[in-house]
């Protein structure tokens, strides 16, 4: 996989919503982040009705759309960031913007932009056959999610369908910070590992250095979204938070 991993060490995947607060900021922050020692950058393409997202990312998406973010512009920003030739860029969006753009065209344009993979959280394995074939056909990796509610057969299917890494949802719920992570996260991560040799990244609800450090030795990467979006909401550079999270990985 193209995640930048150091053997045995926890890595970080920060999330940015493309176009939040504006596309120029996304490009600038994104270019800095991919050069900061992260494993990959997850770049969100906004959608009006994001069912897996909590209030922070919902609001960021609404702000991006209100500021005129289009899928085309998000792909251009992705190309700009991927042009740094540093950490890989993954796209996270929902199925309807991809259908509206046209799956083949989306896959081709994303690959041409230098994107390495896609995460579409409202496409479970059952609905994935065509769209995953289209993405992998263009050379993109597909990342599927497993959740604390996924029984073994679903975990196995998601691991089989994933080609980049497996996204392990740490909480039963939507994105956004939690004061504590459930105690059985590491058990879930261990179970996922019995089904795959791919790297396993943990996300949803992870917002602090302390929570990141608890994943050391259990996950290959920690995905942090809402906490970073919060920094941008407050008009702050998320750089210092990312550096703090990176040092918690070690």
Residue ranges in contact with another protein by CB under 8 A: 47-49, 51-52, 54-55, 58-59, 62, 65, 70-71, 94-101, 121-124, 126-127, 129-130, 144-151, 154, 158, 169, 172-174
For another protein, the closer of residues 6 and 99 by Cβ is 99
What is the nearest approach in angstroms of another protein to the Cβ of residue 155?
10
What is the nearest approach in angstroms of another protein to the Cβ of residue 105?
12
**Tokens 């910070």 map to which residue?**
177
**Cβ proximity of 187 and 4 under 8 Å:** no
User: Angle 185-193/152-161 helices, nearest 10 degrees?
Assistant: 60
**Cβ proximity of 192 and 229 under 8 Å:** no
**Cβ proximity of 17 and 229 under 8 Å:** yes
For another protein, the closer of residues 144 and 222 by Cβ is 144
Q: Which of 28, 53, 76, 184 is catalytic?
A: 53
For another protein, the closer of residues 146 and 214 by Cβ is 146
CA 200 to chain centre: 12
Q: Which of 42, 80, 141, 220 is catalytic?
A: 42
For another protein, the closer of residues 45 and 222 by Cβ is 45
For another protein, the closer of residues 93 and 116 by Cβ is 93
Question: How are strands ordered across the β-sheet holding 145-146?
Answer: 141-143, 117-119, 89-92, 41-44, 11-17, 221-224, 200-203, 166-169, 145-146
- Whether 53 sits among the annotated catalytic residues: the reply is yes
- Report whether the peptide linkage leading into residue 222 is cis, meaning its omega lies within 30 degrees of zero: no
DSSP class of residue 46? P
What is the nearest approach in angstroms of another protein to the Cβ of residue 9?
27
What is the nearest approach in angstroms of another protein to the Cβ of residue 216?
25
CA separation for the pair 17, 237 (Å, rounded): 14
What is the nearest approach in angstroms of another protein to the Cβ of residue 137?
18
**Cβ proximity of 211 and 204 under 8 Å:** no
CA separation for the pair 174, 89 (Å, rounded): 22
Say how many C-beta atoms besides its own lie within 10 A of residue 76's C-beta: 16
Residue 84: both structure tokens together: 């740094």
Strand partners, 221: 11, 201
Tell me the catalytic residues: 42, 53
């Amino acid at each position: 996989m193209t995640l930048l991993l150091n053997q045995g060490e926890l890595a970080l995947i920060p999330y940015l919503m493309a176009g939040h607060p504006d596309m120029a900021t996304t490009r600038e922050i994104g270019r800095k982040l991919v050069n900061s020692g992260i494993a990959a950058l997850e770049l969100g393409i906004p959608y009006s009705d994001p069912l897996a997202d909590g209030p922070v990312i919902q609001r960021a998406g609404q702000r991006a759309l209100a500021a005129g973010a289009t899928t085309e512009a998000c792909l251009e920003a992705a190309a700009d960031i991927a042009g740094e030739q540093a950490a890989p860029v993954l796209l996270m969006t929902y199925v309807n913007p991809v259908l509206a753009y046209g799956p083949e065209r989306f896959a081709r344009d994303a690959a041409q932009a230098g994107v390495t993979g896609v995460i579409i959280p409202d496409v479970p394995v059952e609905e994935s056959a065509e769209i995953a074939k289209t993405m992998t056909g263009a050379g993109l990796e597909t990342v599927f999610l497993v959740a604390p509610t996924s029984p073994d057969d679903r975990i196995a299917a998601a691991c089989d369908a994933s080609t980049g890494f497996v996204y392990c949802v740490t909480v039963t719920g939507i994105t956004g910070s939690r004061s504590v992570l459930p105690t059985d996260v590491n058990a879930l991560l261990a179970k996922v590992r019995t089904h795959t040799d791919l790297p396993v990244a943990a996300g949803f609800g992870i917002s602090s250095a302390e929570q990141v450090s608890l994943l050391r030795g259990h996950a290959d990467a920690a995905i942090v979204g809402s906490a970073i979006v919060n920094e941008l909401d407050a008009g702050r550079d998320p750089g210092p938070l990312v550096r703090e999270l990176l040092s918690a990985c070690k």
